[in-house]
Amino acid sequence: MNIQEVIAVKVKEAFQTLYEATLENVEFQATRKDFEGDITIVTFPMLRVKKMNPAQLGEELGQYLQEHVAEVSRFNVVKGFLNLVIDDAFYLNFFANITKNETFGHEAPTKGDSAVMVEYSSPNTNKPLHLGHIRNNLLGYSVAEIIKASGKKVYKTQIINDRGIHICKSMLAWQRFGNGETPASTGLKGDKLVGNYYVAFDKAYKTEIATLVANGASEEEAKKQAPILLEAQEMLRQWEAGDEKVVALWKQMNQWVYDGFATTYTNLGVDFDALYYESDTYLLGKDFVKEGLESGVFYKKGDGSVWCDLTDEGLDEKIVLRADGTAVYMTQDIGTAIQRVKDYPDIGGMIYTVGNEQDYHFKVLFLILKKLGFDWSKNLHHLSYGMVDLPSGKMKSREGTVVDADDLMVEMATTAKEISQELGKLEGYTDEEKEELYKIIGMGALKYFILKVDPKKRILFDPKESIDFAGNTGPFIQYTYARIQSILRKATFDYSAEITAIEIDIREKEIVKQLQGYPAAVQLAANNQSPAVIANYTYDLVKLYNSFFQNIYILGEEDEAKKIFRVQLSKKVGDTIKHAFALLGIQVPDRM
């Protein structure tokens, strides 16, 4: 038990002993900085159990705890708040234990526990990854790592949306305008080349709409009857029918995209344990649509399309198969979920990392799976997140106005280089070391800026604002880590001795208290599916350490025991920063 749990037990015991009353809960809060204390108990809620003056209640509980809890050295009462001072020996003993624990805060999976599958990225194969995909990937990857650290087995996966009308648009545009060009002949990454043809399709489509409107058609009719769109729809039907030429072109262009994605994922620092392809799972989805028709979960309309009526649950009717027999996204998602459970029987839950514009889609998906009789559907979760905006406004893929993920990563490294050179922080580095460090700083800035915000909130991302060596930024925390490594390099003496009998400074105690909260922060971040908990925990730890660093001698301390303790404390802070940042997918440099 941690100290709060010990005290909670003793407070309940005190109520039974002093008042012959049962207290169900004990409420704690951080002690205000203007009062002495390490832990504060709020006595106001206790008045429902024992009606008396809150200050008197605090005094009596304080006396009991001082007598019965060895760690409580003294106390004070301020109105309805009982502030407890915890003996230095407790913090020294706790710290001595965690210095020996290299995986402090990270739990190993318990044998027999169910696993969690986390889906993220899940791109369309008609365009390169953009800034929105970056938030998706960083969020999904980090949540997976955090849940793993909390003690769960985790599978990281994506569904690659490699079929559908959007894919056919790029394919058709390449046939019309491509003149046989390839990534090799153009020097372009494959995903960028294919994305160019998605934009080319949209331009041609708009031109045809304008021509039809000029000839008397309404805009709505023109959008449906544009020849290039009809041809793309026919190509999709041919693909689903297995036309050899269409399928061969589809395979060729998708492979170009996969190769491009692989490079982006490597640079972004994310990976996957399993890949699923919509071109495979939509067939399984169609099979279950057929079963659902037979069981009455779905029904067929007069035009042959298949629907699910969810109006009794407060939702709408949802199409699961078009009149021409082609699948929709919902068909694929039904099949994908079922296939994953078949492939990984130990899955106890799935988390879908998808933007909040798909909130309704996932409500419908989870409800349909429940209606189909899958008990595991109750353990499906949508990790819904807000969009990422830039000062220049919203991005649009089909118009070619997106912020390309690869370009942004290069820009982050370039910005890190410019700022680092202005500050003159990299003397004595080789050119190769500098370039590597620029990437680490730039990516750390990007990832931290995005992950420190609660996933549900929309983000306005400013690259220059994110690369700041002061404030709540990735580079500020990376710099603190590098500062600690410098101290350790200069500590040429043996600092491995266990220190349990010194008077510790209030700043040192605050750091130990913050370290004590790391396991709880990991669990909270896992439960809330929010890397922001880890990001902000780490920032708070770094702020405390910098206050300590600026006000207390470390290597210059004359007392040998205190010097050893302060070096150990610095090392543990550095280790915790490294572990915490690893959960965010962020590297920390040994020198800056």
Is 447 a member of any domain? yes
Whole-angstrom Cα distance, residue 475 to residue 464? 12
Name the 3-class secondary structure at 229: helix
Count of beta carbons in the 10 Å neighbourhood of residue 395? 18
- 60 domain-assigned: yes
Record the tokens describing residue 543, joined without a space. 């702020």
Q: Domain of 23: which CATH number?
A: 3.30.1360.70
Which two three-digit tokens encode residue 368?
């349909």
> Do the domain assignments include residue 577?
yes
Could you tell me if 84 and 65 are in contact, meaning their C-beta atoms sit under 8 angstroms apart?
yes
Note the pLDDT of residue 502: 93
Within this chain, do residues 279 and 169 fall inside the same structural domain, yes or no?
yes
455 and 372 share a domain? no
Structural domain total, the chain: 3
Query: Residue 114: phi, psi to the nearest 5?
Result: -75, 155
User: 58 and 200: one domain?
Assistant: no
| Domain, as residue range, for 76 | 3-86
Specify the pLDDT at position 113.
87
pLDDT at site 401: 53
Give a yes or no: residue 167 inside a domain.
yes
Q: Which residue has the tokens 């039907």?
A: 237
Same domain, 255 and 157: yes
Q: Based on the domain organization, do 165 and 31 belong to the same domain?
A: no
Rounded Cα distance, 135 and 150, in Å: 22
| Inside any domain, residue 98 | no
From first to last of its 592 residues, what are the pLDDT tens digits of the chain? 678 899 999 999 999 999 999 999 999 998 998 899 999 999 999 999 999 999 999 999 999 999 999 999 999 999 999 999 999 999 999 999 999 888 899 998 888 889 999 999 999 999 899 888 999 999 999 999 999 999 999 999 999 999 889 999 999 999 999 999 999 999 999 999 999 999 999 999 999 999 999 999 999 999 999 999 999 999 999 998 999 999 999 999 999 999 999 999 999 999 999 999 999 898 899 999 999 999 999 999 999 999 999 999 999 999 999 998 878 889 999 999 999 999 999 999 999 999 999 999 999 999 999 999 999 999 999 999 998 887 764 444 444 456 889 999 999 999 899 888 877 667 778 889 999 999 999 999 999 999 999 999 999 888 888 888 888 999 999 999 999 999 999 999 999 999 988 999 999 999 999 999 999 999 999 999 999 999 999 999 999 999 999 999 999 999 999 999 999 999 999 999 999 999 999 999 998 8
Same domain? 272 vs 247? yes
* CATH number of the domain encompassing residue 220: 3.40.50.620
Q: Where are the alpha helices (DSSP H) in 269-343?
A: 278-295, 329-343
* Same-domain pairing of 371 and 514: no
Residue 1: per-residue pLDDT: 64
Identify the CATH number of the domain in which residue 553 sits. 1.10.730.10
363 and 415 housed in the same domain:
no
Same domain, 312 and 433: no
End residue of a domain, out of 354, 389, 424: 389
Do 373 and 417 lie in one domain? The reply is no
Asked if residue 360 and residue 218 are part of one domain, the reply reads yes
- As given in the structure block, the two tokens for residue 505 are 């400074």
116 forms beta bridges with 154, 349
The answer to the question of residue 482 being in a domain is yes
For residue 277, give the 3-state DSSP assignment: strand
Q: Kindly state whether residues 27 and 143 are assigned to the same domain.
A: no
Q: Please say which residue of 341, 357, 389 terminates a domain.
A: 389
The confidence score (pLDDT) of residue 541 equals 98
Is residue 249 within 8 A of residue 175, CB to CB? The reply is yes
Got the DSSP string for 508-528? HHHHHHHHHTHHHHHHHHHHH
Residue 94, in any domain of the structure: no
Q: Which residues make Cβ contacts (< 8 Å) with residue 575, sequence separation at least 6?
A: 102, 104
Residue 518: the pLDDT is 96
Neighbouring residues of 401: CB distance < 8 A, sequence distance ≥ 6: 395
The answer to whether position 332 is within a domain reads yes
Polymer length of the chain:
592
Whole-number Å distance between alpha carbons of 536 and 120 = 23
Q: Last residue of a domain, which of 29, 62, 86?
A: 86
